[in-house]
Amino acid sequence: MTAEGTESCVLSVQKLNISFGSRAVIRDLSFAVAGGEVLAIIGPNGSGKTVLLRALLHQAPYSGTVQWAGGAKLGYVPQSIAADRQLPLQVRDLLNAKARILKLPPAAVAEAAESVRLAPELLTTRIGVLSGGQFQKMLIAFALLGDPNVLLVDEPTASLDELAQEHVYELFEKLRAERHLTILLVSHDLSVVYQSATKVLCLSMDAPCWGAPRDILTPENLAAVYSAAPKFYQHMHHHNYAAHE
């Protein structure tokens, strides 16, 4: 762990420990995130990626230090919502609810919808009939309400087809540039990680690692981290090669 970027450090995590009951999921984890960075969090299933995000949001119990910079405003895009699709909720109902709780001006909802390119007619659509991509955009618009400067994003494309996936990642890229966001992104898609992350945090009980993508996403590292799932290594190797070309 170096002290690099301490001046513009947005998040500093020291000796973080998280456990489910008696099972330690994350042990003595330390890392830091500088302003404007895209930190990708990768790791096999069960390595604690989601619970790490929730701990950073102070929504899951942990021990250790999670220190956000004074001006940090967090927006959260959860992985999946087990919402009842039969609810008579429109997209607008949901966005308005957050806007009113945060006492934002009424224009904030339209503005958030616009910045994720959510078509105006979708605002009056019931959430139950949204496509996967539209639902994801709604969640991102929801997170953008209140003007966060840090986005914590959990597997944003897990349930999307490839086209919609690319669309969502382009959207994050656009938002990051427009709003000078710092992004913490949990992702399975190592090619996306390689292309868009400025830092990678690799969670694994035996070999956690943290650094620039080219240092972390080496075949040796990935083999160690994903030892239980070698196909990830091959997948990565392929993309890695393509990216270098």
Q: Which residues bind other proteins (CB under 8 A)?
A: 54, 57, 59, 74, 76, 78, 81-84, 86-90, 93-94, 96-98, 100-102, 124, 126-127, 142
Query: Closest distance between other proteins and the C-beta of residue 124, in Å?
Result: 8
Query: Closest distance between other proteins and the C-beta of residue 183, in Å?
Result: 16
Nearer to other proteins, 31 or 135 (CB): 135
CB of 142 closer than 8 Å to CB of 116: no
Distance CA 75, CA 38 (A): 14
Beta strands in 52-165 (DSSP E): 63-68, 74-77, 150-154
Beta strands in the chain (DSSP E): 9-20, 23-34, 38-42, 63-68, 74-77, 150-154, 182-186, 199-202, 209-211
Handedness of CA 63, 186, 59, 116 (dihedral sign): positive
Distance CA 102, CA 145 (A): 9
Distance CA 10, CA 148 (A): 12
Query: Closest distance between other proteins and the C-beta of residue 34, in Å?
Result: 23
Nearer to other proteins, 175 or 200 (CB): 175
Nearer to other proteins, 141 or 193 (CB): 141
Query: Closest distance between other proteins and the C-beta of residue 98, in Å?
Result: 6
φ/ψ (deg, to 5) at 220: -65, -50
Query: Closest distance between other proteins and the C-beta of residue 175, in Å?
Result: 18
Nearer to other proteins, 55 or 217 (CB): 55
Nearer to other proteins, 153 or 209 (CB): 153
The alpha carbons of the chain give a radius of gyration, in whole angstroms, of 18
